[in-house]
Amino acid sequence: MAKRIVVDPIPRIEGHLRIEAKLDENNVISDAYSSGTMWRGLELILRGRDPRDAWAFTQRICGVCTTVHALASVRCVEDALGIDVPTNARIIRNLMNATQQTQDHLVHFYHLHALDWVDVVSALSADPKETSDLAQAVSPSWPKSSVGYFKDLKVRLTSFVESGQLGIFSNAYWGHKAYKLPPAANLMAVAHYLEALEFQKEIVKIHAIFGGKNPHPNYVVGGMACAIDPNKDTAINIEQLNQVKRIIDQTQTFIDQVYIPDLIAIAGFYKDWAQWGGGVGNFLSFGDFPETDVDDPSSLMWPRGAILNKDLSTIHDVDPHSLSEIREEVSHSWYSYTDGDEKGLHPSEGQTNAKYSGPQPPFEHLDVDNKYSWLKTPRWKDNPMEVGPLARVLIGYVKGVPMLVDTVNHVLKTLDVGPEALFSTLGRTAARGIECKQTSGFMRHYYDQLVANIKKGDYQTFNNEMWNPDQWPKEAKGFGYTEAPRGALGHWIHIKDKKIEDYQIVVPSTWNASPRDSKGRSGPYEAALKGTPMENPEQPLEVLRTIHSFDPCLACASHIFDVNGDEITSVKIS
């Protein structure tokens, strides 16, 4: 092999996450601090631009979930200008959103989070016969479960590892005592890691069909940019709809026969994780998947609401338009507000004045008593809130959303635990799988809706009534929301003289990774890490398990401190 040159692609930029955790004398995490160490001032880039272009810029914020920002952005402009989108556009947006959710959850589980629970090196010592027996017991209908299949995989994996190309599996904590799966289960999981890798490539083809291209599918204020005509080659036609249907069939099969059985099988070995990682116990969802009107919360397939103090008897109403409910504080964030940093501001009146007051890098510790993060601190009715799959599943479960309730009960019953087990790292990870099953069902639901609507002769995808800026009011404000895979996402726009006067975005990871608020209360990551015992602080696998369970939209460096506050190890992720 030729000389190796290190080519280091620039880290993909979405902000970086740093966790500082304090340990007590028993290596239990006594306190934790979460810091976004990179400034995101996207709002400033949007000022002065055409509101109809905002989606194309905002979809570049996040490396991966481009469509969610595009969706929230077109919705906020439509809200400001009073635009109703055609039925087909609503359905296609829902279908693309369900596709994104499904693919994102699948990739998160297998290609990031699974390696926190699955020991790849242990898989090399698995017996293929035993693995085959296990796979057939776990998922009797899934065909890829023969002895020969696992034998071949073991050979391939062994030669990959022995060639020194541990590659994707290098730099992990293999052999860590916190890994509990037997070798056969590890080998089965690695097989599914690779199968999921192949499969996820198919799912997203739906975005290319409806968005014109992928990555970065096209959205448009007023509808969708794709034309529908069952008989034309240049439009969405029968052939393409059939392809979408095939992908949906395969997706549901994969989720039902691989993801859910794996989730339950793996979770069975880690039931102790139902006691750690619970977090703040407050949950928020804006809701999504409008059946009729995006402005009507009662039409949302994912209900809107909030849970406080783990109290599953009450779902609180949420009004994201209300200026009094959501506030962003900067008491521990490197920003300043013109009227003082003590009082939070609603995002529609938000300010993005960066003011770094932390230590100059390289530094050992953040000054956690003062400001220590580039993330603001969003609060709902003054409470720190967790957003994401667990929030949505809990709210949907309490509200009795059909099928979701069945899946939750099935998982809980199989694992022989009660609903309280959901308030944990394990619960968060299970919720993502439960939700993935639900969204793969949504894909079919919206496909059926779309076909039915086209059969009625409705081909309209775009409402151009307000496309011309001359028709716009001199000034308008709007709110656009979606539930991204990681949780509630809000875009707030202020349009003045046909241009963007102000634009504020509150992303899910800001809710979850937020620093302390003005009252000193921890954010969800910070709270979730407290009380977790660590097997070996030099290898902070437990921190990764809990932080990964939130599916952070951030690059991260995790720093572990011992009781004296000295840094034991730093796990840099670039």
Partner 1 sequence: MRINVLGLGNTMFGDEGFGVEVIRYLEKNTDFPENVHLIDGGTQGIYLLDYIESADYLLVFDAIIPVEYDRQVYLYKNDELPGFIYRKMSSHQVGLSELISLARLQNKVPKDLILIGIPPADLNMGVGLSDTVLALVPTAANMGIDTIKSWLNGKE
Report the nearest approach of partner 1 to the CB of residue 465 (Å): 30
Identify the residue whose tokens are 């499969």. Answer: 199
The answer to whether the CB of 423 falls within 8 A of the CB of 267 is no
Tokens of 397: 């479960």
Contact residues toward partner 1 (CB under 8 A) are 1-14, 17, 39-42, 44-45, 57, 60-64, 66, 103-104, 107-108, 111-112, 156, 160, 165, 167-168, 170-172, 194, 197-198, 200-201, 204, 215-216, 544, 547-548, 551-558, 571-574
The answer to whether the CB of 482 falls within 8 A of the CB of 289 is no
**Of residues 303 and 508, the one with the C-beta less far from partner 1:** 508
Identify the residue whose tokens are 């007590």. Answer: 24
- Contacts of range 310-316, beta carbons closer than 8 Å, 24 or more positions apart: 310/278, 310/281, 310/420, 310/423, 312/394, 312/397, 312/398, 312/419, 313/398, 315/395, 315/398, 315/399
The answer to whether the CB of 364 falls within 8 A of the CB of 344 is no
Q: In whole angstroms, what is the distance from residue 32 CA to residue 110 CA?
A: 27
Catalytic: 432? no
Residue 14: alpha-carbon gap to chain centroid: 14
Report the nearest approach of partner 1 to the CB of residue 208 (Å): 10
**Of residues 112 and 563, the one with the C-beta less far from partner 1:** 112
Report the nearest approach of partner 1 to the CB of residue 472 (Å): 24
Evaluate the omega torsion of the peptide bond into residue 215 and state whether it is cis, within 30 degrees of 0.
yes
Catalytic: 436? no
Report the nearest approach of partner 1 to the CB of residue 168 (Å): 5
Helical ranges in 109-142 per DSSP H: 120-123, 128-138
**Of residues 354 and 563, the one with the C-beta less far from partner 1:** 354
The answer to whether the CB of 484 falls within 8 A of the CB of 508 is yes
Catalytic: 62? yes
Catalytic: 69? yes
Tokens of 278: 């619970």
Residue 73: alpha-carbon gap to chain centroid: 18
Report the nearest approach of partner 1 to the CB of residue 23 (Å): 19
The answer to whether the CB of 183 falls within 8 A of the CB of 122 is yes
Catalytic: 226? no
The answer to whether the CB of 52 falls within 8 A of the CB of 77 is yes
Determine which one of 486, 516, 548, 559 is catalytic.
486
Tokens of 411: 């998982």
Report the nearest approach of partner 1 to the CB of residue 186 (Å): 16
Residues in the chain, total: 574
Determine which one of 20, 62, 392, 542 is catalytic.
62
Determine which one of 16, 40, 69, 332 is catalytic.
69
**Of residues 111 and 381, the one with the C-beta less far from partner 1:** 111
Catalytic: 518? no
DSSP annotation of 12:
P
| Three-class DSSP category at 573 | coil
Report the nearest approach of partner 1 to the CB of residue 326 (Å): 24
Determine which one of 14, 329, 526, 542 is catalytic.
14
Determine which one of 52, 65, 514, 516 is catalytic.
65
Determine which one of 34, 424, 509, 514 is catalytic.
509
Amino acid found at 72: A
Q: In whole angstroms, what is the distance from residue 138 CA to residue 542 CA?
A: 26
Report the nearest approach of partner 1 to the CB of residue 228 (Å): 25
Report the nearest approach of partner 1 to the CB of residue 1 (Å): 5
| Three-class DSSP category at 475 | strand
Q: Which residues of 75-111 are buried (b: 16+ CB within 10 A; e: fewer)?
A: bbbbbbbebbbbbbbbbbbbbbbbbbbbbbbbbbbbe
Active site (catalytic) residues: 14, 62, 65, 69, 486, 509, 553, 556
